[in-house]
Structures are given as C-alpha cells and as structure tokens.
C-alpha cells in the first residue's frame, strides 16, 4: 500500500483551495504517496471522515472556487476529547503526514498538535484576509480584492449617475489589507481600516472636496474599522470557536454611510459584498500560488520536514516554521499606512 497523506481545509473558504489540493495530490502521487481528503476541516480528523482524492478527481481543480473536501471552523481544542480523536484517527487512517490548509486558526491548531504531540503535519497558508505572517501573500487575497475592485467600479458608475457618495464594505477581519488594496486599485476617495481609527473630520473634509469637484465620491471600509464613540455601541459580541468576534452584524458600511449623510448633507448609499469575495474562480495569481504551495507541502512531508509551512518568500516557495506564521497577525504596517496618507 502506498504511503498516505491526509489533506484538510479549515476556516473560511477562499478561491485557491481546490488548486492547492490539486498541487498536493499531483506532487504527492509523483513522490509515491496516495492522498485522502478529511471532510470539513479538523472535523474530518475528529470524526475520521474521509473523501477520496486522486489526480483524476483533481484534474480541473485549478480554476475551481470553493473546496471540494469542505471546511468548518471546528477547533478540536475546544471540544472535549477531540484532540485524542484526531491522534487516534491519524493512526487509524494510516497517514504518513497531514497537510493542513488554512489561516491563523487552522494552522494554529496544526502548530499545537505538532508541538504537543509531534503530529507529522505541515501547513499551507490561505486566507482572503492576507493576515498570516512569514508569507508575502496568502492565496485568496488577490481574488477577493479583484472582486471587491469590480464592485467598487460598479458603485462609482451608479454614484456618478445619482450624484451620491458610495460606501463599499469589504471583509478582511482585523487586517485592513482587502480594504486598502481595493481602495488603492479603484481610486477611492477615502479608506477606513481597523489598524487606524477613522479621523472623521479628515474624512468629511476630503469627501466634501471630492464631491464639490466631481459630484460623487467613493469610500471603502473594512468590516472591522473603528468609528470610536461615533460608532454603534457594541452589544453582546458573538464569538466563534477560535474566540474571534463574528463581524457580520457590525454594519460598518451602514454606520459610515449614515454618518457621512448626517455630516455632509449629501445623499449616501452603501453596499456590503461579504461572501461574494470568497466565491468564484481564483485569479491567475491565486491559481499559481495555491498550486505551488500545495506542491511544496507534499515535498515537506516527503522530506519529513514537519511543523513547517509552505510560504511565498519573494518569488520562492519555502518551508518556514509554522509557529512563526501563526504567532502574530500580519496587519497593515507603517510602510502601507504612510502610502495611505499620500493617496487618501
């Protein structure tokens, strides 16, 4: 029997997961392994539920959005007895190694399982939020920004026609990368990111100027931007299994639009594109990146280089320590905030 590699995709899905799975499968088969998918993230290892994977099944995964093997935000460390079940099922399924494809949370679990139990696991970074350290980019981000930029262009058309200010709310959790890159690429007039409290008077001044000049304006806001005391008073915050505040009901786009209308007297509308950013075919950049990190993960397992993550460093894919990727969130840094000051 060929040696076996288990593959799981955990956390929020994003375009690039299927090509990453294909990358692992193709490289693994070439190295003499067979692959098996674990259904719906860590849940699959807890339950021992598998999905067949091979080159034939994954042949056209390069252009496919979503994840064939499913995902969930299951955290085995938060479920009684689940870590033991993961270890037991790893043996029962006769796995040589495990490829965990995920973001901060999924890879955080992989880091712990490797550190505490020497589980032979390697990581593949994915997230539309682009907030993982030690990798220059995560796949999913480029597609999410491309989709958001398209939405921004469309909002500009309708904003211009109606002489309105338009506000676009994008995802990205506690990192402002998606909002910032969308705002830059769409030539927005103002951008609100979680890393920098919104300077309301500066925003109003800029929007009034823009509106006077061209009779419309566009604001891009991250779902987690902060309005300080002007913002909605936070009610009871709902947390996911990893302790993250669920941001879906925060309504930043709506809050900012109301504030703008109140302060400027200019008719303002908002749009929230939410999960649309996570669906559809990955961009060329994401297809290539996800295939490459997937292939590298199979090689890391083959070389018994466990506890590592396949990262993009410059233009190379390298094995970097998993714990470094998940130890600290990569948020919008000074270089980008300075650039933001120039552009907005």
Closest to 140 measured CA to CA, from 101, 174, 113 = 101
Closest to 33 measured CA to CA, from 244, 337, 299 = 299
Q: Which is nearer to ligand F6P, 85 or 278 (CB)?
A: 278
Residue 136 designated active-site: no
Structure tokens at 305: 């280089």
Closest to 26 measured CA to CA, from 306, 312, 296 = 296
Tally of CA atoms within 13 A in the half-sphere of 206 that contains its CB: 18
How many Å apart are CA 246 and CA 255, to the nearest integer?
17
Q: Which is nearer to ligand F6P, 76 or 194 (CB)?
A: 194
First to last CA, the chain: 60
E strand residue ranges, 56-120:
95-102
Q: Which is nearer to ligand F6P, 173 or 287 (CB)?
A: 173
Q: Which is nearer to ligand F6P, 89 or 277 (CB)?
A: 277
Active-site choice (13, 47, 105, 129) = 129
Q: Minimum distance from CB of 88 to ligand F6P (Å)? A: 28
Query: If you count DSSP H runs as helices and E runs as strands, how many of each does the chain have, helices first?
Result: 12, 11
Q: Minimum distance from CB of 11 to ligand F6P (Å)? A: 6
User: Which helix (H) or strand (E) is 312 found in, with range?
Assistant: strand 308-313
Q: Which is nearer to ligand F6P, 90 or 139 (CB)?
A: 139
Could you list the residues that contact ligand F6P (CB under 6 A)? Answer: 12, 103, 127-129, 171-173, 223, 247-248, 278
Three-class SS of residue 40? coil
How many Å apart are CA 221 and CA 213, to the nearest integer?
22
Q: Minimum distance from CB of 14 to ligand F6P (Å)? A: 7
Query: Are the C-beta atoms of residues 99 and 5 closer than 8 Å to each other?
Result: yes
Q: Minimum distance from CB of 162 to ligand F6P (Å)? A: 29
Three-class SS of residue 211? helix
Q: Which is nearer to ligand F6P, 211 or 270 (CB)?
A: 270
Q: Minimum distance from CB of 222 to ligand F6P (Å)? A: 9
Tally of CA atoms within 13 A in the half-sphere of 251 that contains its CB: 12
Q: Minimum distance from CB of 100 to ligand F6P (Å)? A: 15
Please give the positions annotated as active site: 129
């Amino acid at each position: 029997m060929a040696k076996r590699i288990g593959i799981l995709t955990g956390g929020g899905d994003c375009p690039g997961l299927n090509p990453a799975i294909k990358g692992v499968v193709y490289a693994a088969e070439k190295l003499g392994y067979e692959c098996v998918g674990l259904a719906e993230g860590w849940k699959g290892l807890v339950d021992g539920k598998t999905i067949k994977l091979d080159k034939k099944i994954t042949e056209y995964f390069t252009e496919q959005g979503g994840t064939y093997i499913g995902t969930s935000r299951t955290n085995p460390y938060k479920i009684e007895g689940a870590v033991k079940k993961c270890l037991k099922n790893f043996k029962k399924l006769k796995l040589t190694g495990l490829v965990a494809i995920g973001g901060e949370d999924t890879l955080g679990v992989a880091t712990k399982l490797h550190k505490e139990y020497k589980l032979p696991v390697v990581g593949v970074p994915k997230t539309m939020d682009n907030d993982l350290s030690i990798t220059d980019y995560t796949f999913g981000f480029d597609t999410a920004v491309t989709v958001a930029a398209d939405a921004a262009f469309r909002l500009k058309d309708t904003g211009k026609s109606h002489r309105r200010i338009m506000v676009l709310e994008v995802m990205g959790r506690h990192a402002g990368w998606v909002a910032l890159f969308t705002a830059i690429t769409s030539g927005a007039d103002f951008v609100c990111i979680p890393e920098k409290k919104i300077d309301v008077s500066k925003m109003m001044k800029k929007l009034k100027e823009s509106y006077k000049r061209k009779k419309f304006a566009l604001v891009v806001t991250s779902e987690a931007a902060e309005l300080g005391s002007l913002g909605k008073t936070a009610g009871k915050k709902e947390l996911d299994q990893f302790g993250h505040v669920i941001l879906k009901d925060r309504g930043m786009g709506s809050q900012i639009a109301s504030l703008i209308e109140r302060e400027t007297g200019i008719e303002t509308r908002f749009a929230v594109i939410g999960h649309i950013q996570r669906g559809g075919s990955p961009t060329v950049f994401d297809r290539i990146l996800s295939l490459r990190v997937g292939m590298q993960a199979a090689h890391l397992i083959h070389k018994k280089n466990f506890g590592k993550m396949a990262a993009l460093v410059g233009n190379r894919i390298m094995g970097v320590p998993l714990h470094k990727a998940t130890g600290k969130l990569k948020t919008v840094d000074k270089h980008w905030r300075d650039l933001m000051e120039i552009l907005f």
